[in-house]
Amino acid sequence: MVYKTDRYASLIQKLNKARLNRDRIFKNASTLESTTPNLTKKQKEKQALKKKAASDDVSTASANIAGAKGKYNFLGMAIQFLQFRYLSSTHSSTVVAVLPFEPISLFRRVTQRGLTGLEGHPKAVSWFCVYMLCNFAIKGIFVKALAVARGEDSETGGVGSMLSSPQMRKTMKKLGYTDEDLEFMNNLGKGVGM
């Protein structure tokens, strides 16, 4: 859904332009450094500022794309929450399946969640276990249908894109976070990604 909007296409164009500009600036800087070995301090600072500005433009464009997907992420979360609430109210204390084996105690906590008074029936399965299995099985299809999957259109994807944008970094620094904290959160966001 989000991939078909004009706004998204515009954001992708801005990201591609920012990437091309960044690549051009980095190439020009490396060419200048290789052809002119004795750059002055002022020239080096100027090149570093150009590189940083170009990288910030790419980060900002990437964060804007991640933000465009936000309402679809929220929609998916709302649907799952409503589905969970409905199932918990209609199927509480109901055995929906029986396992052919007796699970270990760790898994029994999941398979019997919401069941009361079934201590003598270790093979009983509650709605929650079936819900979890189905959720894991269809999550990929659901995410693609709502177009919230992490694509190649963002530098880091999801939360990492938003955390690495220059505006967010400035805001976080005003709130008292250090560069190490921001780098940790950015790396965490890259690992999580949407």
pLDDT in tens, 63-103: 888 777 777 778 878 888 898 888 888 887 788 888 898 88
Q: What is the mean pLDDT of residues 24-34?
A: 88
Confidence of residue 19 (pLDDT cuts 50, 70, 90): very high
Read off the pLDDT band of 134 (50, 70, 90): confident
Q: Work out the percent of the chain whose per-residue pLDDT is above 90.
A: 9
Give the burial class of 141: count Cβ atoms within 10 A of its Cβ; 0-12 exposed, 13-18 middle, 19 or more buried. exposed
Q: Assign 152 a pLDDT band (cuts: 50, 70, 90).
A: very low
Beta partners for residue 98, in sequence order = 124
Least confident of 41-45, 91-95, 168-172, 183-187: 183-187
Please tell me what DSSP assigns to residue 20. Answer: H
Give how far Cα 14 sits from Cα of 50, 63, 82, 86, 134, Å: 18, 12, 36, 42, 38
* Mean pLDDT, rounded, for 24-33: 89
pLDDT at position 109 is: 79
**163-187: average pLDDT:** 73
pLDDT at residue 24 in the model = 93
Grade residue 160 by pLDDT with cuts at 50, 70 and 90. Answer: low
Name the residue with higher pLDDT: 183 or 132: 132
- Answer with the residue of higher pLDDT: 108 or 31: 31
Ranking 20-34, 83-97, 148-162 by mean pLDDT, the lowest is 148-162
Q: Could you tell me which of 78, 14, 62, 30 has the C-alpha nearest to residue 162?
A: 62
Q: Which residues make Cβ contacts (< 8 Å) with residue 88, sequence separation at least 6?
A: 114, 127, 128
Rg (CA), the chain: 25
